[in-house]
Amino acid sequence: MKNRSNRRSFLKKSAAATLSAPLLMSLEEYALAAQESAPSPLPAASPSTSTLPTGAIGKVKLSRVICGGNLINGYAHSRDLIYVSTLLKHYFTDDKIMETWALCEQHGINTMILHPAEAQAVSLYEKYRARGGRIQYLAQIGPTRDDLKTEVKRAQDAGAVGAFLLGNLSDTWTREGDVKSIGQLLSIIKDHGLIAGVAAHELRTVQAVEKAGFAPDFYMKTLHDTNYWSKRRPDQMKEVIDNYAADNYWCMDPKETIAYMSELQRPWIAYKVLAAGAIQPKAGFRHAFENGADFITVGMFDFQIAEDVAVANEVLKVTQNRERIWLG
């Protein structure tokens, strides 16, 4: 291996000399030199090679599985492992992000989550679309209550098909008694021609929005089973509710959520369905779809996409006759 490496280094350094003596270099040597000097091509989006059931929210057709945005944005819920987000930022280079989007398309995922406030992410998405990529995105927005319009306009300008209020903000505004701001934001999103949603970790957020009569186009509500070893103990729950400091519990009310959503006739995108990697996809996907979710959002590495889609297709076949009707 060392000899081969030295040989490549020598070939690269002497590439100019070979132009004057082409007969002295074999075809293999030319190829080795070219591999060292030529940049790797960016991945191009390919036509879909597999299918995934879809549904519609308003005028927008979405795959039942949606690619989450945290991994690509370089953030991961990692419990006590403080290095994971940094690791993701090193793994998800621009090329790798576009490769991941292309793989989503190839396997029938037509929608992903993106934060339009991140200029680099939007620029990369524009580049991907310019190369022929077709994946669409729902914008996760986090406006201030003093300026509800700027992020919505940014999402519209960046080609989003819909927008939803970040769950942490929805929960906080609700806890502070300011559901009115959520309603105002929903109206602004709709006025910009986008489907409008509210994300929430806490069921009371969904209940408060419904009670106020704001009628979002969809909800994003966390849902997962609590049968995993790192879940929070009951005496730790106040920490979660007060400031989200505990990074290992995302659906504190699964049974109540399932019961409430079963009566709510609005499309539901479930997220955190794997409790940030603590639950196997087959179990997490089934729990979500079987208990009423119309779509699921899942953070995926490129090497997980094919398997996750295969699992989702298998689960969707056996959950078609569930109790809650399919919306969208």
Does 286 share its domain with 213? yes
Does 6 share its domain with 117? no
Cα-to-chain-centroid distance, residue 112: 5
| C-alpha triplet 199, 200, 206: angle, nearest 5° | 95
Strands 295-298 and 268-271 come out as parallel
CA distances (Å), 315 to each of 41, 65, 288, 295, 303, in order?
A: 36, 11, 10, 12, 20
- Does some domain include residue 97? yes
Does 68 share its domain with 210? yes
Amino acid at 257: T
CA distances (Å), 281 to each of 11, 157, 274, 304, 323, in order?
A: 48, 34, 7, 10, 22
Alpha-carbon distance of 163 to 179, in angstroms, equals: 17
Alpha-carbon distance of 317 to 308, in angstroms, equals: 14
Cα-to-chain-centroid distance, residue 107: 15
Strands 60-63 and 136-141 come out as unpaired
pLDDT of residue 35: 46
Does 158 share its domain with 283? yes
Does 9 share its domain with 77? no
Q: CA Rg, the chain, in Å?
A: 23
Amino acid at 241: I
Residue 283's CB is within 10 A of a number of other CB atoms, namely 17
Locate the DSSP E strands across 240-303: 268-271, 295-298
Does 15 share its domain with 88? no
Does 33 share its domain with 65? no
- The enclosing domain of 292 has a CATH number of 3.20.20.100
Show the domain range for 25: 2-37
Does 149 share its domain with 297? yes
- Does some domain include residue 122? yes
Predicted TM-score (pTM) of this structure: 0.81
pLDDT in tens, the chain (328 residues): 544 444 444 444 444 443 444 434 444 444 444 444 444 444 544 555 668 999 999 999 999 999 998 777 777 777 777 787 888 888 889 999 999 999 999 999 999 999 988 888 899 999 999 999 999 999 999 999 999 999 999 999 999 999 999 998 999 999 999 999 999 999 999 999 999 999 999 999 999 999 999 999 999 999 988 777 666 655 555 555 555 555 555 787 899 999 999 999 999 999 999 988 889 999 999 999 999 999 999 999 999 999 999 999 999 999 999 999 999 8
Domain count, the chain: 2
CA distances (Å), 176 to each of 172, 179, 180, in order?
A: 6, 8, 11
pLDDT of residue 229: 66
- Does some domain include residue 254? yes
Does 21 share its domain with 112? no
CB 224 within 8 A of CB 273: yes
Does 104 share its domain with 217? yes
- Does some domain include residue 327? no
Does 89 share its domain with 29? no
| Average pLDDT for the chain | 84
Closest by Cα among 43, 41, 49 to 305: 49
- Does some domain include residue 42? no
Alpha-carbon distance of 116 to 108, in angstroms, equals: 23
pLDDT of residue 86: 87
- Does some domain include residue 45? no
Alpha-carbon distance of 227 to 112, in angstroms, equals: 28
Does 92 share its domain with 142? yes
pLDDT of residue 71: 75
- Does some domain include residue 68? yes
pLDDT of residue 239: 54
Contacts of 318 (CB under 8 A, 6+ apart): 286
pLDDT of residue 169: 94
Alpha-carbon distance of 94 to 89, in angstroms, equals: 10
CB 55 within 8 A of CB 295: yes
- 238-243 — which CB contacts under 8 Å span 24+ positions? 241/202
pLDDT of residue 13: 46
pLDDT of residue 262: 96
